[in-house]
Structure 1
Amino acid sequence: MRYFTETAKYLFVICTITLTGCNKDSRTGPEDNGASPNILLIIADDMGKDATAGFAEGNVKPNTPNIDGIRNKGVSFNNFWVYPTCSPTRASILTGKYGYRTGVKWANDLLGSSEPILHQYLKENTEDAYATALVGKWHLSGNENTMFNPETLGMDYYAGLLRGGVESYYQWMLTEDGHQSTQTAYITEKFTGLAIDWIKAQDRPWFLWLAYTAPHTPFHVPPAEMHTQGNLPEYMQGISALPYYLAAIEAMDFQIGRLLNSLPDAERENTVIIFIGDNGTPNLAAQFPYSNSTVKGTLYQGGINTPLFVSGPGITRIGEQDDHLVGSTDLFATIAEVAGISSPEINDSKSFKPLFSGEDSNRDFQYSEMNDGASDLWAISDGQYKLIVNANGGQEMYDLSTDPYEGNDLLAGILSSGQLAAKERLQIELDRIRD
């Protein structure tokens, strides 16, 4: 049984300049010139494959020339797993640990202050060679702690939104350096401006985690120059949310272009860019082949298999797609290795940096989980078979090679000997992970 939780004018000239800047053929990586690369991690909030160009899922795509530029100048990972909601995905990246180890398994769960985070790890293991920052959505302080300063965990700078969302994209509470102020600027634009200002102030290699709230609800219309979805009226319940959702993505892409254009050519060419969606599309904007019960908030592919693009110095596979297994936890070790730290495995994190140049991967299984207080579930896959286990004893199993959108639960019938062996392997690995 399935479970579930819950055209304006575009600035074409600017976009053309952006694409030109993002598509330079001459690139020199740290291996070539000895310079440590900058690292830019961009997180889109609630952006699934069905809303992302470059994937077969979804019939209507937003116009995203800048995100497309990242994908086209690097590697697109087809089998990237996250968590069904945003907080555990963010915690898994920040700590390199699975959610059951940190206690962050659902939206609004609290990440303990004793957990070592990626920013601090970079500083301690590069002799403070990297400046580190997090701009944008935090969502790891629970519901109550509205005065928390993430800088106390070991990053140089934090500015953004502590909570998981806003009531208005045009009126929201900014926390910067531990101080709060009410903002009326469009939140996606403001986050970008803060990121640009911080980067300009750096005189050493930097790691910036830029976490947009877009395209998460509410479906508020962006400034007209940032999207191509037409003259949208104020969103009201009962009308299609899709154009509003796509408009928010286009506005985010517009701002990503603004950020990339702000970088001098040499700095841009020495920056590794990682773009991800933190979980699947929300049900109000989900497109075929996903349904309301297989997107955000679920352990089905529409909830946890999201976009991952990587481009920049050291990435020699230009415009390629990769089918190796990757998880959000793996971003910790990967970013550390990009920064020059020789630790291919850290906590539950396995670096996938070798995949940048066509080498092999050391990950044989993917893992995700959720616990929303009512359902406690885990998922594991070897790339072909996927097993979902409920703490109440229920199980589901799918062959993703023939049934990629999980329409046929193999456990509803009689398993073949090969399927039985696969189920046993998955169960053994799941038990090992959760031991």
Structure 2
Amino acid sequence: MRRTSSLCSAAAGLLVNFALASAPLAQGNVLMLMADDVGVDKIGAYGEGSMVPSTPNIDALAAGGVRFKTCWTNATSSTTRATVLTGRYSFRTGIGYLVLQDTSTPALSLSETILPEVFDLGSPGSFTHASIGKWHLGNFTVGGDAAPNLAGFGHFSGILTNMEGTENYSNWMKTENGVSAFSPTYITTDQVDEALAFVNTQTSSWYCQVWFWAGHAPYESPPTALCGCTLPPPVPHGDVKPYYNASIASLDTEIGRLLSNIPAEVLAETTIIFVADNGTPAESTVAPFVPAHAKPTLYEGGLRVPLIVKGPQVVQPGRVVNHLVNSVDLFRTVLDVMGVQPEPVLPPGTKIDSVSMLPYLLDPAAPAQRKWIYSELFFDPLFQPKKAIRDTRFKYLRQGTFEELYDLQLDPWESQNLMLGVLTPLQVRMYRKLTEDLAALLAS
């Protein structure tokens, strides 16, 4: 796993010529940490929210890596997870809403080629891989308890779907490689325990995704040692914000334990990605962020999440990337970092929407790789399908025949729908451009 001069040569070439942006690098490790229901307003390094949990370990990743200012996901858990693993937008995979166990919404088809399968097909025997934590992509008819393994992961330990009934952070159904039983271990602690058990027993390059449950409901008081707080039991219909914040503080503590217990020589060869699956839920949103624009909406509060990358590729750590990125881009980024190209191993005709973020890691002056970012939500039982697309300034949303247009430079909180008034010539041009880009994407 030692990086050689070939990596330096590859990196130098990328700095000079962005046509080489997808060239393979030497093999290393990737550790992807995904929080649940955490927007940019809840991470200290972003400096955008009020009533922010204590996140010193996540903030340290930002100080030692690259922080992306505008990363969009989808508005719900399953949809984002599918884009990360496939590199494909939801309208291609069919995962447009939560994957529900009653099969009323589709699960991710086992015919989709996901990250671990690309590793195995593109570089057989070179990588081990594990999925730790939340899956939320299978149901009783597609994979069942073995869904993550059948989808391609060599090892799975975690929770398959949302908690139900009396389940909570300290009483939840844990599944390990197809075998399920209730666990009394605080779920964030268990997920770090399992990640360490995997990472610290590997002898070759590895990919490990740790998709945490925190800070998803149901909310409760975490162990005092994790959150540095003592909270009474939550009451029905009470204020959940202290419990939500405590779950994030506990998550940060456990991330610190995870990173401090991986040998330094392994961390030196590991790219660490911290991201979330969607924005903060309304009940935990605090002004100036708008609860009505939080999860699961397609407003910025529902889509814009923290994305931090730290690793040996990062030039000039501690900086901010202002270019637009999307969770779908993690697919090609992970593969580029690990030196695997997907196209030779994907079924013919497979459309990949992912755009590598590797140039942004290698070069502080890298030009934008995207002109726009896109998100969508469908199969929601309460609403018509929704679509959103934005560039660096303007944003267009459509739900059925209802349209919205916002100038995010002048109206970052999306309070004035320009479609309800008379558009200026600039606004007309941007409306046409975004709707044309959207139409072209959906026709592709």
Q: TM-score, normalization: structure 2?
A: 0.88
Q: In structure 2, do the counterparts of structure 1 residues 323 and 343 end up closer, same or farther at CA, with 3 Å as the change threshold? A: farther
Number of residue pairs aligned between Structure 1 and Structure 2: 407
Paired residue secondary structure (2:386)? strand
1:70 alignment partner in structure 2: 61
Instruction: Give the one of 127, 131, 134 matched to 1:130.
Output: 127
Most deviating of 125-134 and 137-146: 137-146
- For residues 289-331 of structure 1, what are the alpha-carbon distances to aligned partners after superposition, in whole Å with 9 as ceiling and x for unaligned? 2222100010000000110000111011311111111001110
- Report the AA paired with residue 376 of structure 2: E
Paired with 2:125 and 2:253, the residues of 1 have a C-alpha distance of: 33
Whether the 8 Å contact between 2:374 and 2:388 is mirrored in structure 1 is yes
Whether the 8 Å contact between 2:40 and 2:279 is mirrored in structure 1 is yes
Instruction: Give the one of 407, 412, 419 matched to 1:411.
Output: 419
Whether the 8 Å contact between 2:44 and 2:56 is mirrored in structure 1 is no
Whether the 8 Å contact between 1:29 and 1:313 is mirrored in structure 2 is no
- For residues 191-244 of structure 1, what are the alpha-carbon distances to aligned partners after superposition, in whole Å with 9 as ceiling and x for unaligned? 11011001122110110010000010011111110012x320001134321111
2:45 alignment partner in structure 1: 54
- Equivalent residues in 2 for 1:189-268, closer than 5 Å: 189-228=189-228, 230-268=229-267
Whether the 8 Å contact between 1:50 and 1:288 is mirrored in structure 2 is no
Over the aligned positions, Cα root-mean-square deviation in angstroms equals 2.0
1:17 alignment partner in structure 2: none
1:23 alignment partner in structure 2: none
Paired with 1:45 and 1:380, the residues of 2 have a C-alpha distance of: 23
- Report the AA paired with residue 375 of structure 1: Q
2:373 alignment partner in structure 1: 366
- Report the AA paired with residue 359 of structure 2: P
Paired residue secondary structure (1:322)? strand
Paired with 2:226 and 2:62, the residues of 1 have a C-alpha distance of: 20
Shift of the alpha carbon at 1:51? 1.0
Whether the 8 Å contact between 2:36 and 2:276 is mirrored in structure 1 is yes
Instruction: Give the one of 110, 113, 117 matched to 2:110.
Output: 113
| Pairing 1:303–2:274 present | no
- Report the AA paired with residue 94 of structure 1: L
1:151 alignment partner in structure 2: 149
Paired with 2:93 and 2:433, the residues of 1 have a C-alpha distance of: 26
1:180 alignment partner in structure 2: 180
Paired residue secondary structure (2:253)? helix
Whether the 8 Å contact between 1:89 and 1:278 is mirrored in structure 2 is yes
Paired residue secondary structure (1:259)? helix
Q: In structure 2, do the counterparts of structure 1 residues 38 and 420 end up closer, same or farther at CA, with 3 Å as the change threshold? A: same
Paired with 1:276 and 1:156, the residues of 2 have a C-alpha distance of: 23
Most deviating of 283-292 and 94-103: 283-292
- For residues 241-295 of structure 1, what are the alpha-carbon distances to aligned partners after superposition, in whole Å with 9 as ceiling and x for unaligned? 1111111011111111111111111101111000001111111111112222100
Paired with 2:333 and 2:273, the residues of 1 have a C-alpha distance of: 10
Paired with 1:143 and 1:107, the residues of 2 have a C-alpha distance of: 14
1:396 alignment partner in structure 2: 404
Most deviating of 208-217 and 334-343: 334-343
Paired residue secondary structure (1:247)? helix
Instruction: Give the one of 344, 350, 355 matched to 2:355.
Output: 350
- For residues 23-69 of structure 1, what are the alpha-carbon distances to aligned partners after superposition, in whole Å with 9 as ceiling and x for unaligned? xxxx9998249862210000000011111112243211111111111
Shift of the alpha carbon at 1:168? 0.9
Paired with 1:191 and 1:298, the residues of 2 have a C-alpha distance of: 28
- For residues 354-405 of structure 1, what are the alpha-carbon distances to aligned partners after superposition, in whole Å with 9 as ceiling and x for unaligned? 0012222321110000111332110001121100011x21100001111111
1:81 alignment partner in structure 2: 72
Instruction: Give the one of 425, 430, 435 matched to 1:427.
Output: 435
Q: In structure 2, do the counterparts of structure 1 residues 316 and 68 end up closer, same or farther at CA, with 3 Å as the change threshold? A: same
Paired with 1:48 and 1:168, the residues of 2 have a C-alpha distance of: 22
Q: In structure 2, do the counterparts of structure 1 residues 30 and 214 end up closer, same or farther at CA, with 3 Å as the change threshold? A: farther
- For residues 109-132 of structure 1, what are the alpha-carbon distances to aligned partners after superposition, in whole Å with 9 as ceiling and x for unaligned? 411111110111122212331111
1:92 alignment partner in structure 2: 83
1:31 alignment partner in structure 2: 7
- Report the AA paired with residue 245 of structure 1: Y
The runs of 5 or more residues in structure 2 that have no matched partner are 10-24, 100-104, 344-349
After superposing on structure 2, the runs of 4+ consecutive aligned residues of structure 1 that deviate more than 3 Å are: 27-30, 32-35, 142-146, 342-346
Paired with 2:162 and 2:231, the residues of 1 have a C-alpha distance of: 25
- Report the AA paired with residue 37 of structure 1: G
Paired with 2:227 and 2:162, the residues of 1 have a C-alpha distance of: 24
